[in-house]
Structure 1
Amino acid sequence: MKLTEKAKAYLSKIFSEEKGGLQENDPEFAERFYNFAFDEVVNQGDMDDKTRMLAILATLTGCQGTDAYRVMAKAALRVGVTPVEIKEVTYQAVAYLGIGRVLPFFAINNEILKEDGVSLPLEAQAKTTMETRLEAGIQAQVDIFGDGMKEFYKSGPEESRHINRWLADNCFGDYYTRKGLDYLQREMITFCFIAAQGGCEPQLVSHAQANMKIGNTREFLIQVISQCLPYIGYPRSLNALRCVNEAAKNLEEK
């Protein structure tokens, strides 16, 4: 393989060893992919490694990329993503992908963390109880989406109103209120979950707007899409870009 010096340097930084797999059995492909993903992409803009890895882990969870996730989760630990942060990405993914798609990532996390000498379970990160989760979840929704969310949990037809309540007490009260990641990080990974799974454009636009409202700018979201493109391909990346631009236009018109 003829790797660029920048690709070699980044591979050395995030991986403890390079042998077998693509390099050994598909060297022609590996040369182009590694030079693209680990030189062109990582050197597009100035995103720090930790943010990049959180976005990639969320994206790989969203697209069900278990094998690549296993590799990149180990790389994430090498560049400073903590075990708590890795776990928090997986926990929050359940609200957006469902346990049916996320359960395999629990097993992968536990395996690589034990291999890294981490004692499990980790220290508890919950800041709510079953009694306080609704109020805290409503506040999280308000903090991120605005005052219009104060009464959202009570809105909608009676037969489906419980789902809006679940969004408040479960999605936001159980997950967004936890320690380990802040609102900016949580909205970024939510954007990645939704973009990577595809088919949820209204929600992607909504969360792109939420990201921008709390400080993850349009330019930042474009960087996120760019860093995750090698892992989900061009169609979903271009779709995410369209949703970001639509969200930005919506905010300008308000």
Structure 2
Amino acid sequence: MSIHEAAKNYHEKMFPNYHSKFLETDPEFIEAFDNFAFDEVLQKVTLDEPTRFMSILATLLGCQGIDEFKAMVPAALNFGVTPIEIKEIVYQAVAYLGIGRVFPFLKATNEIFTDRGISLPLASQKTTTEKDRLTAGEQAQVAIFGASMQGFWHTGPEESQHINYWLTDNCFGDYYTRTGLTKKQREMITFCFLSGQGGAEPQLVSHAKANLKLGNDKAYLIKIISQNIPFIGYPRSLNALRCVNEAAEA
């Protein structure tokens, strides 16, 4: 077996002193995967390490990769992602994936934090109240998507207008207004949630446009897609690339 020295070194930084049983049961697979994910991809994709791991965690939430997520949370901490940043990624995922899919990830995060001696609950990142969450959510939508979002919360057919209201006061007012992550980081992880889960290409185009507007340019989004190919495979990654191209052309 010939795992590249660079892949071995990176793996050791992620998982100090960890010896995978797959080295014994599936040595050829581990050789191919580790050399690709932890050497070839890293040579091509230049990202700061916290951003790299935040994108991985968000993508794993999107594709429901709970076992890999459990492995990657400690690695993310080892590479400088803070507990607050990890929690904010998990919290925001609820708006895009639903609690039915996020609950196991929240539970796993708490267990990992507790095992590492990280005291819970973490410091509050909340900035809104029941009285101002709608207004603050609208401000966040306008800042991210543009002036066309002004008044979005009371538009649409009467029978479904409440959903636009909830998008403003809940999705944006409850989550995007929190501290712990910047708006650019929040749009990046949303892009990862959507690309990871697949089947949400219209929303992925919309959030690719939002990323571009905030300064996460096309080259950056392609780096995010490329970084996460080992975790979600080629079909969903190519769909995400098509959405980015469509957003850039628009």
Instruction: Tell me the CA shift for residue 216 of structure 1.
Output: 0.2
What residue identity is the alignment partner of 2:37?
A
Q: Name the amino acid aligned to 1:7.
A: A
Q: CA deviation at 1:21?
A: 2.9
| Counterpart residue number, 1:144 | 144
**In the alignment, which residue of structure 1 is the partner of 2:221?**
221
- State the TM-score, normalizing by the size of structure 2: 0.98
Structure 2 equivalent of residue 176 of structure 1: 176
How far the C-alpha of 1:17 sits from its partner, in A, is: 2.4
- Cα deviation for residue 6 of structure 1 reads 1.2
Contact (CA 8 Å) 2:45, 2:226: kept in 1 or not?
Answer: no
Aligned residues: 250
Q: Following the alignment from structure 2 to structure 1, what is the Cα–Cα distance between the partners of residues 183 and 20?
A: 39
Query: What is the alpha-carbon distance in structure 2 between the residues aligned to residue 45 and residue 230 of structure 1?
Result: 13
Whichever residue aligns with residue 227 of structure 2, its letter is Q
Q: CA RMSD in A?
A: 0.8
Cα separation, 2, equivalents of 1:165 and 1:55:
28
Counterpart position of 1:25: 25
Provide the residue aligned with 1:85 in structure 2: 85
Structure 2, unaligned runs of 5 or more: none
Deviation, 1:18, is: 2.8
TM-score by length of 1: 0.97
Distance of 1:130 and 1:145 partners within structure 2: 23
* 8 Å contact kept, 2:45–2:227: no
Choose 224-233 or 14-23, whichever is displaced more: 14-23
Q: Deviations over 1:154-200 (max 9, x none)?
A: 11000000000100000000000001000010000000000111111
In structure 1, the residue corresponding to 2:233 is in which secondary structure?
Answer: helix
Amino acid at match of 2:174: D
Any stretches of 5+ residues in structure 1 without a counterpart? Answer: none
2 CA distance for matches of 1:231 and 1:24?
A: 22
Percent identity, aligned pairs only, is 62
**1:119 and 2:119 matched:** yes
User: How far, CA to CA, are the matches of 2:68 and 2:135 in structure 1?
Assistant: 38
1:47 corresponds to 2:54: no
Alignment of 1:110 onto 2:110: yes
CA contact under 8 A between 2:126 and 2:179: conserved in structure 1?
Answer: yes
Letter in 1 for 2:170: N
> How much has 1:24 moved relative to structure 2?
2.4
